[in-house]
Structure formats: structure tokens, C-alpha cells
A and B are shown apart, each in its own frame.
Chain A
């Protein structure tokens, strides 16, 4: 048979592929909708107290300069930002660090799940907010406010990863994360500059710093707590924590510094 040399070669190659590339790693299960969040009382946690923790998160180190985003890949995004768009991963104003999650790491009693969903909006080809905080089991509402399509792709380690598309303006989807997990990066693979973080907590006591780095965690019952401050870009390795005692009706003061 004339074709025999080729047939032999191809049979060998195919065998090699099947042996080498079949992959022994089990394939991941298909993405599924996480169970719906349990019902919970609206507003403040049921066990809300009158104490609070307030303070400022400062930054020490050199923050990277703002990066100019190349919007030309999507003319609709470019049209939304005629003056251009800059992305500042670490925003510092007067020493205060913005977008820092400050939360009760330990000491909180109760795990009430807010009934209201937390909203992650895609607006102006950017995320709002850049640090979104949920309680495990709370619904996450994802909205596309843009007249262009986005995909939403969180990359959790402990929760179920998913990737969904929202091709039309005004589309909304609901998801949830079952397990507490600090700092889940979320991004849009269509527009790679779009990046945000989702934090899934076990309790509803948290705050996210404003532009000036200030924060207030409200509604805390009296007690001793461990408070941690963590920034998405700096990561968990550079988080700062402290123990603090909260008294009824009083605002405990806590300032922390994150180092770059």
C-alpha cells in the first residue's frame, strides 16, 4: 500500500496525542447558578449595635502612576471617554488610600444575610464600585449600563467560577457566592482594563474607604474585634490588622497603614 508510510506515521502521531494530550486532570464541572440567597431582614444587621469603628487607612510607599487605557479596541467605550480614561490601581489622597476593604475579621456574632442584593454595575466601560462587598449567600446583581457588550468573569478560589455575557444595555443577572472569600478578582475579557474585586464576608460589618482613606464600620455590638484592612491591588499579603474594643454608643478610633 503506497500510503502506508504516511498511515504509520499518522497512527503514531495520533497515539502520541491521545497518550500525551488526553489529560488526566478531571475537567471542571459546567458553571451553574449558585443557590439563591436565604431571606434576611432588610437594612442593618438584626444584631446591630450602637458602637462603631472609625479611622483612616494610610499608604506608605510609592504608588504606581496612573495608566492611560487604550480604548480604541471598542469605539463605543472610546466615545464614552472622549478625554481618555486613566486607571489608577492605587489611589492615594493626602496619604489616605481609597478602595480599601475594612472589615471585622473575627469577633462578630451572627451571620445575617442582607436581603438587598449588592450591585456591580458596568458603566462607562468600567466597574462601579471597584471594591464590592457581599455577605456569603447575599445576592449579587450584575448590570450592564453600557451600550456595548461585556462579559463578567470572577475568578474565585473557594467559590464557583462563572463567566456570563451581557450583550445588551440594561441587562441584569443575579448570582451569589456561598463561601466567605476575600478578594475575588473580577474582570471583563472583552475590555481587559476593566478590573474590580469582590469580597465575600461571613458577617455584615465592613466599610470601604473613600477617596481620603477614611472609613466607618457602623452598627457594632459591644465587644472585642479583630479589624483587617485589605486593598485589592496590594493583596492579602499586605493587609494590616488590629484588635479593638468597641463600647455601646461609642466610636472606637482605629488608623492603619498599608505598605506598598
Chain B
């Protein structure tokens, strides 16, 4: 839980780096101006601060992997923890490469996407070691509907985050300067790649909203309180996210709404992913299927 929380904060700090245009305020890596701790002034505060938080998350993940290797009896969970460590190391290297190669779009976007993936890994680890996972037996309710809805929502949100990262790193955030219309029209003239990416992100927002509404309806039908809560949280986040997206455009990319838009996107992905895990854990995919909890006991 601590690592997952720290990761969400790290994503917020990463968003601050790009929102403030500080991505290259520290031109070297892994050191900063040849130092471990440069003066935290101007853009260095954001870029080096991001590096410090990332180092903390890396350390937490290392502790988590070692702790899991020592105490966890399920091989799958141990593999998951080591995977998280591998991903956080890869993420650090990508962060370094994007600085050394002067923010190439492919590396910067990969850095953004891998951050979201690592966040999902930490959520999976937290859930796999939670009391709910270990104690609860799946109900004999067909969970395929809500599970599919959550999986679809997670996939759609991830694609939307990819589009958002592309828009951010191609500086297309204001390619369409008005909201809710686009150049005063429902559909703009696609005169530049920036307009195409920006408009795709807006269309993606509608698809995400519909996917999350479907998830909420499925969760309500399941009658299961934890799922209803998670799905409702996702709906609140998606509504907040739309508002933040509009604020980003209307405020001409002011730092706070722009950065919160990044962090809320990650939180939304996390909520959908968590809903998917919960649906698969709490509800039986097919009525009469073996209970995962029983399988845990058998494996132990």
C-alpha cells in the first residue's frame, strides 16, 4: 500500500516536471550537475525532486521484493514482486535516457506508460497480500459481466493514458484551444497531427466515461459492496478527470490542473484495474468453478 501510494505521488511529481517544463533542467544523469544533491532551485527542484522520489520508490520496491521473497509462500506473488523491481529499474533507466537524449518522444512516452504499468503492479501486489484476497472465498455469482466491464475499462483507460502521454510530449495540449467545442465545431478540421492526437484524446474521454458507466452498472448488478465502491470511485475520478482536462485547456495549461490531470488519470487506471482484480477474486468467473481461496489453501 505504501509503495502504491508513493508511486501515485511519484506520477504526480513526474507530471509536475513536464507541466513546469523542467524535464531538462538537470542535463546529466544519473548524477545531477555532477552532484548527488544539487541546489534545489528553479526547474531543478522539480526534476531532481522527481529523481529523489523515484529513488525512494525504487528502494521501497527493493524492500518489498526482498520481504516477499523471504515471507511469501506463493511463487506467483514472489515473481510479481521481482517483476515490480525489474520494472522500476527499467523505469529509472528510461527516465535517464529521456534526459540524455533530450526528451525523444518515444522514450518519454514509454517512460509515462511504464509508470502507469508499475503503478498497476504495486496495486496487484498490495491486493494479492491483502486480507480480502487471503480470507474471502469467491461467491457463486457469475462475475463474468463485471469482470469483463472492468477489464474493458482498464484497457480503454490505458489507451487513453497513452494518447494523453503522446499529446503531452508532442506539445499538442493546446492544439485545440477551446472546450467543449473544437475550433467552434463538434469535429475540427484535422490540419495537423497535434489536432488529430488532441481530438482523439477527447473522443477517448467519452469512450472512457461510457466504459466506466458500464462498469458501475455491472458492479451494481453484482450486488457486492466492495465492487460497487470501487466502481463508484472510478466514476467520480472520471468525472473529475474530464473537469481537469477542460481546466487544462481553458487555463492554457496552468501547472496545477495539468499535473492533477496526469495524477487523476493514473488514479482512474488504478481504480479500474483494482475493480478488475476484485471482480476476478470475489466473484466466480463461472458458477461452480473452483474457489481461488481453496486453491490457496491447497497450494499451502
Contact = CB atoms under 8 A, between A and B. Distances in A.
A24 interface: yes
Interface residues of B, number: 62
Residue picked from A4, A21, A149, most chain B C-beta under 10 Å: A21
Interface in A181-207: 188-192
A43 interface: no
Contacts of B80: 3, 6-7, 10
Nearest to B150: A9
A27 B21 contact: no
Contacts, number: 144
Contacts of B203: none
Interface stretch (A72-80, A209-217, A243-251): A72-80
A181 B22 CA distance: 26
B299 A189 contact: no
Contact of B27 (A14, A27, A76, A163): A163
B101 A4 contact: no
Interface in B102-132: 102, 104-107, 109-110, 112-114, 117, 120-121, 124, 127-128
B43 A149 contact: no
Nearest to A76: B41
Interface residues of A, number: 45
Contact of B110 (A16, A23, A26, A74): A23
A62 interface: no
B109 A23 contact: yes
A224 B66 CA distance: 77
Contacts of A25: 104-106
B39 A148 contact: yes
Contacts of B50: none
B281 A5 contact: yes
Contacts of A189: 21-25, 42-43, 47
B41 A74 contact: yes
A93 interface: no
Given A9-B151, A23-B109, A189-B43, 20 more contacts: A1-B76, A2-B293, A3-B74, A3-B128, A5-B277, A6-B80, A6-B127, A6-B128, A9-B277, A16-B155, A21-B113, A27-B106, A27-B107, A76-B41, A149-B33, A149-B39, A149-B44, A164-B27, A192-B42, A192-B43
30 contacts: A1-B299, A2-B76, A2-B293, A3-B77, A3-B80, A5-B280, A7-B79, A9-B151, A13-B120, A17-B117, A20-B113, A21-B113, A21-B162, A23-B106, A24-B106, A25-B106, A27-B101, A27-B107, A28-B102, A28-B104, A31-B102, A73-B41, A74-B41, A149-B38, A161-B102, A165-B27, A167-B34, A189-B24, A190-B25, A191-B43
